[in-house]
Structures are given as structure tokens and as C-alpha cells.
Chain A
Amino acid sequence: MKNFFRTLGLTTAVALTATVAQAETKVGAIFDLTGGLNIYGIQQNNALNLAIEAVNAAGGVNGEPVTVVGYDAQSELAKYTQFAQTSVLRDGISAMFAGLTSSSREAIRPIFRKAKIPYFYSSLYEGGACDKQTFVTGSSASQQLNVLIKWAVENYGKKIYIMAPDYNFGTISGHWIHEFAKQNGAEVVGEDYLALSVTDYAPTIQKIQAEKPDVVIALPVGANQTGFLEQFAAAGLKDTIGMVSTNYGSGNQQVVVSPQAGEGLISAMGYFPSVESEANTKFKSAWEARYGTDTPIVAGAVDVWNAVHIWAAAANKAGSSEPDEVIAALESGLTFDAPNGKVTLEPGSHHLRQDIYIAKGDNNHGFEIVQTFAGSAPTYENEKCNLIDNPDLAEHFSPEEH
């Protein structure tokens, strides 16, 4: 009973402070701070906090400071839905920033759709997510593969082998590889889709040698699949067969693989720390002052940074944090001077038009940018998903369905 009164006292005190405190705008965040996915989640969360601080330092949103109600999803899908419900029902948030895997996004998307709260998903992914409340700031598979395959065919040759994880990111990317290979007059000579638990890639490496491709498109996800890159190099194949990727580096794999295996690997993504721009220099110095220089910044972190700034710009433009008004402002063709170049939020598809960089692994766990494809449009999403004309669309478009 004594405890009860103590708790009661505390609750009242909290309630009192809350009423005394000035008005504030709340946003929600759910990222994987622990568990296997935290190689991405910790940086996403760091980027969120840094971005909110930057927004507050610039005067907040409509004169109100922004506060974050954050949750750790522990790399578990069930936690995502649980915390998403909590944030909608209890926290009273104006926007949500959450998720890494496509399964986490698909699990919570309906919750924010129903609550009519704008939801920002910030990770590279297979593409095709489409509804009025969802905004995607990462690059989609077709956005990256479009430029990467053209580059790979020009630089290595026309015979392509696909190594990808065996779930929707891998298989949908595989579909796009076939599509863009055809467009570029190339041919897919073999493909291997692997479970995330595989650690021994000898069978894949033999199949690659049997098919004699000019280039392997490798999409390794998770720590185990990073081993593939190492084993490929140790088998002595790197000198004769090119290797390109749309996600090598997205989880700092270039730090994990040895310099021998990482040198010369090609990756195409929406951000690399070595991007040269004033915005990136500023962003990097703010990041390093706060989090140090131990781990390079991943693309997913920049995607979160961009999401927060775009949301804040929309809320300021709308003059309100009310979801409907913010979404209307988000659909007005906003642009943002991001660390990865100028990005534009496409009003119809809610995806970003952004630069895609082709970068080459160096011999010191880093990347150098080889080529920049400025202002790459999310072509597939723009074609399928027009939320201005069809505001009621709620789909996950996939090229495999037709």
C-alpha cells in the first residue's frame, strides 16, 4: 500500500510537470537497438536524435520543441506491432519514424494508416510500398539496380550471376536484375537464393565457377552472408569475376570484410560517407562530434536524418502538426539539401528522387565514389503508385505479380 501511494504521488507529480511544461510536438520512433539487426537500428536511432536536435536548435516545429517517444524493437517483429499500437493509443504522436526490415514495415504500416499518422520508413528496400500515410526515404531496389546493372554490363560484361537472400528483398531484387539485364542486352546465367543462416558458401562458389559469369550481383544480408564475400575472394575468384551490390556497405560490411576481400567490390547506394558536399561535411562533423568516428555512417542513418527534416519542413509549411495537413504539405514537392545531395519527395509515390552513387571498395575498409547518377527517380513506384489521383491506395506493389 505504501508503494501504491508512492507511485500515485509520482504519477501526480509527472502529470503536474506535464501540464506545467510548455506545449510540445511528439514524434514516435521504433528501431532495433538490441538484437541481430542493431547494426542498422542503433545508427538509425542516433540519426533520429541528431536530427531532432537540429530541428529544435532551428526553432522546432511551428515554434514548439519536438520530443521523441522512442522504443527498442529488439529485432523482434512482435515488438514492432506492440510499440506501434502503444505509440498511437497512448503517446499521442504526430509522426512515426520506424523500421528496418520490410517485414517490420508491413507489420506496422496498417496501424498508422488506420490512425492516419504519417509514417516514415528509412531504409533501402525492394520497393513498392504505397499508401497515403507511408513515406519512404530510402532508395528502392529498381532505383539502385537500374543504374548499377548498366554500369556493371559496361564495365565487366554481359553474363550475370545473382547471389541474393531468400526472402522478398532478394527475390524481388532478382526480378529487377532479370528485367534490367534484358534492357542492357545482358543475360542472367545463374542465380542462387540463400537462407540467412547459411555460413558456408562453397556450393554457391562452385556454381558460380561452373557458369563462368563476367559479374556476380551479390546482395548479402546479415553477418553470415558477409562471409560469402570473404570466401569468394579466398577462392581466388575476385581477379577474374567482378562483384557488384546494392547493399554492400549498408550495414558497414566493408568494415567486417578484410581489405583483400573488400578492395574493388562495387556498391550502388543512396549514400556513402565519402560523398563530397557541403551538407555532408556539416552532417558528418555533427555526427562525429556526438558519436565519434569508430563506425562509418550507414545509408539508413542518412535516410532517417532526411525523413525527420522533410517532416519538420512539411509541418512548418503547413503551420500545424496535424497529420492531414502535414501529409498535404509532404505532397507539395518538397526538396531537402541532404548529406547525399538534393532529394525531392515525389508527391504521387511518397518516395524520394535522389542521387545514386556507384562506389568502389578501397583497401582500407572504405569506399571511393566512382560515379554519381544525380536525381535518380523511383521510376517503378512513380509508375504504380499515384496517391494524388488515388488517395485510397494501400498496396505493396511487386513486379512478380504480373
Chain B
Amino acid sequence: MELDYLVTVLLSSLSSASILLIATLGLAVVYGLMGVINLAHGEFLMVGAYSALTATQIGIPYPLAIPVAVVTTMLIGAIVELLIIRRLYGRLFDTMLATWGLGMVFNQAAVLLFGTVSPGIGMPQYNFKIGGYSLAAYSIAMILVAAVMLAFVYLLMTKTVYGMKARASIQEPKMAQAIGIDSSRVNTLTFAIGCGLAGFAGAILLPIIPATPSMGLFFAVKGFLTVVVAGPVALTGSALTALGLGGGASVTASFMTSVVGDVFFFLVTALLLWLYPMGISARWRRKL
């Protein structure tokens, strides 16, 4: 096996893992900080993709369309939290059912609003060569995007007042309320941020994965498994899991077939959940 092939495989596998992480981070934040599994996460991603697409269609340049998508999904997320999620706190399975149903509604609403096919915006036609192999620059840039996104969420949760309140509300809810933190408002914001991250993912991945009403489904499955395997330390755990599962599946797919890659993903997931039923981070000391 030539060196250039190996380097290409490594880079593109890292990019695959990053794409998975980008798509999963919002789910991890909501699960880690609220204990809510948002099964409509994939559909929020889809809403983000369509928001960005619509923004570019009315003439807003693509880089500015991304914030539009974030704001739109955050707003919708806040409304969903106020109307649905807040009534179901502490009822994990009920929230899963409710958000699953919400996902279906979003999916069909997208069909009615946008039809079944919309023109894509295409990937920037930049590529570079490593030895005899050429790689799309945009896919590789996703490694950087994932790193920045992870750092952003980490700083948001550790260095800002909101972050401290959010962590206090989930770790010591009664104490947090006793010292005057309005935990329900904090939760609304946390859910909105989770949805905003999904919207960001949909917008930034739009050139790679075209917007379709059912695009969220794939991410819902793999993202959900990533978060479950990660366990209670959602942020670090998800980053590691995405790297291991997503990257591992991509390496396997490069040397064998994508079907074996998927088998790797699901087998390792099953194995990890068998070894660590509460997730790999169940016994970690870190909290984030």
C-alpha cells in the first residue's frame, strides 16, 4: 500500500468523523445538559439546510446564509421547548416519542413547503492532490469546522455565565433554583442552542449533502447512537465516539466496502454498549 493512499484515507476518515461530530454535537448538548433525547434532531438539521438554501436563493451569499439558518432553528427550537419539551421533563421515553412525532411533522411540512426536489448549491470546486490522489478541499475543511465548533461549545459551557447556570441547573437543580437561577429559562436556551447547532450542521453540510425533506433520518440514527455510546459526559464523550466510530467506519470502508464499514459501526456500538451500558464516559470525573 502506497504512502499517498494511506495519508488520503487518514485525512478523509478524519473528515468523515468530523462530519458525524458536526451533525451530532447539538444532540449531545441537549442530552448532556437536559437529559432529553431529541429525536427530531435530524429534522432540525434539515430545517437548517433548507433555511440556508432559501437564504441563498433570495440572494444572500452562502457564508451569511449560515447564521440565518442558526437563528431560524434556534427560534423554532425555543418554541418547541416552550410548547412540548418543557411539559415532559423527566419522562425520557415520552420526550423521545414526542420529538419523533415532531420530526415526522417537520418532514412532511418540508415536502409541502419545498416539494421533493430542490436545487443544491454544489460544493466549491477546490481540490488538492496528495501523490496520485485528489481530495475535495471542502470535505477536508470540515475537520477544522468540527474543531472550532467543539471549542465554541466547550467555551460556551465553561466560560460564560449561561454555561455555568446551564450546568448548575442540570447537576444540582434544586440548589440552582435556591440561589435564584431560573432553570426553566436556562433550559429553553439550552434546547434552542442544541437546535441551533443542528441548524448550523445542516447549513455547513449543505454543499456535501443536498437538502431533502428526509435527509435528517440518517443523522438521527448514527447521531443518536453516538450520543448513547458517549454517555453522561456528552461533549468529550461524543467527540471521542464520533472519532472512533465514524473514523473507524470510514477507514474500514476504504479498505473493504461501505457495507463492512456500517457493520463495523453498528458492531462496535453494540460491543461498547455491552461493556459500558451507561456509555463510555459513565465513570469519568469530567463533567463536560
Q: Name A's B-contacting residues (CB within 8 A).
A: 34-36, 38-39, 42, 166, 192-195, 197-200, 202-207, 209-210, 223-224, 226-227, 230-231, 233-237, 251-253, 255-261, 294-295, 365
Contacts of B108 in A (CB 8 A): 34
Q: Mark B228-263, 1 if CB is under 8 A from A, else 0.
A: 000000000000000000000010011001110110
Chain A nearest CB, measured from B123 CB (Å): 4
Chain A nearest CB, measured from B54 CB (Å): 15
**Is the pair B259, A206 in contact by a Cβ cutoff of 8 Å?**
no
**Residue B157 lies at the interface, judged by CB distance under 8 Å to chain A:** no
What 6 additional pairs, Cβ within 8 angstroms, besides A202-B15, A210-B133, A235-B127? A193-B258, A203-B250, A203-B261, A234-B122, A235-B134, A256-B212
Q: Which of B12, B124, B132 contacts A202 (CB 8 A)?
A: B12
**Is the pair A206, B123 in contact by a Cβ cutoff of 8 Å?**
no
**Is the pair B111, A258 in contact by a Cβ cutoff of 8 Å?**
no
Q: Name B's A-contacting residues (CB within 8 A).
A: 5, 8-9, 12-13, 15-16, 19, 108, 111, 115-127, 132-139, 207-210, 212, 214-215, 217-218, 221, 250, 253-254, 257-259, 261-262
A207 to B252, CA, bound (A): 12
| 7 closest residue pairs by CB, A with B | A258-B122, A202-B12, A234-B123, A234-B136, A223-B212, A236-B127, A203-B253
Q: Which of B19, B121, B207 contacts A200 (CB 8 A)?
A: B19
Given A166-B259, A193-B257, A203-B258, the answer on whether A256 and B133 have CB atoms closer than 8 Å is no
Contacts of A202 in B (CB 8 A): 12-13, 15-16, 135, 139, 250, 254
Residue of A nearest to B262 (CB): A195
**Is the pair A203, B254 in contact by a Cβ cutoff of 8 Å?**
yes
**Is the pair A210, B5 in contact by a Cβ cutoff of 8 Å?**
yes
**Is the pair A256, B257 in contact by a Cβ cutoff of 8 Å?**
no
Chain B nearest CB, measured from A192 CB (Å): 6
Given A234-B123, A260-B122, the answer on whether A195 and B117 have CB atoms closer than 8 Å is no
**Is the pair B217, A258 in contact by a Cβ cutoff of 8 Å?**
no
**Is the pair A258, B214 in contact by a Cβ cutoff of 8 Å?**
no
Contacts of B133 in A (CB 8 A): 206, 209-210
A36 to B8, CA, bound (A): 33
**Is the pair A199, B125 in contact by a Cβ cutoff of 8 Å?**
no
A236 to B128, CA, bound (A): 9
A237 to B9, CA, bound (A): 17
A300 to B253, CA, bound (A): 33
Residue of B nearest to A253 (CB): B117
Contacts of A197 in B (CB 8 A): 218, 221, 262
Residue of B nearest to A212 (CB): B132
A38 to B111, CA, bound (A): 9
Q: Which of A194, A205, A233, A256 contacts B117 (CB 8 A)?
A: A256
A256 to B50, CA, bound (A): 13
Q: Which of B5, B117, B127, B250 contacts A39 (CB 8 A)?
A: B117
Chain A nearest CB, measured from B94 CB (Å): 24
**Is the pair B119, A231 in contact by a Cβ cutoff of 8 Å?**
no
**Is the pair B258, A235 in contact by a Cβ cutoff of 8 Å?**
no
**Is the pair A230, B123 in contact by a Cβ cutoff of 8 Å?**
yes
Chain B nearest CB, measured from A177 CB (Å): 17
Given A36-B214, A224-B209, A230-B123, the answer on whether A200 and B259 have CB atoms closer than 8 Å is no
Contacts of A237 in B (CB 8 A): 134
**Is the pair A252, B117 in contact by a Cβ cutoff of 8 Å?**
yes
**Is the pair A260, B125 in contact by a Cβ cutoff of 8 Å?**
yes
**Is the pair B115, A207 in contact by a Cβ cutoff of 8 Å?**
no
Chain B nearest CB, measured from A345 CB (Å): 30
**Is the pair B209, A227 in contact by a Cβ cutoff of 8 Å?**
yes
Given A203-B12, A203-B253, the answer on whether A257 and B208 have CB atoms closer than 8 Å is no
A140 to B5, CA, bound (A): 38
A68 to B136, CA, bound (A): 49
**Is the pair A256, B120 in contact by a Cβ cutoff of 8 Å?**
yes
A252 to B258, CA, bound (A): 25
A247 to B193, CA, bound (A): 40
**Is the pair A255, B111 in contact by a Cβ cutoff of 8 Å?**
no
Given A234-B138, A237-B134, the answer on whether A294 and B115 have CB atoms closer than 8 Å is yes
Contacts of B215 in A (CB 8 A): 223-224
Contacts of B12 in A (CB 8 A): 200, 202-203, 205-206
**Is the pair A234, B218 in contact by a Cβ cutoff of 8 Å?**
no
**Is the pair B122, A35 in contact by a Cβ cutoff of 8 Å?**
no
A24 to B49, CA, bound (A): 47
A193 to B221, CA, bound (A): 21
**Is the pair A295, B8 in contact by a Cβ cutoff of 8 Å?**
no
Given A194-B258, A203-B250, A203-B253, the answer on whether A233 and B123 have CB atoms closer than 8 Å is yes
Contacts of B207 in A (CB 8 A): 230, 234
Given A231-B136, A256-B117, the answer on whether A195 and B259 have CB atoms closer than 8 Å is yes
Contacts of B217 in A (CB 8 A): 36
Contacts of A236 in B (CB 8 A): 125, 127, 134, 136
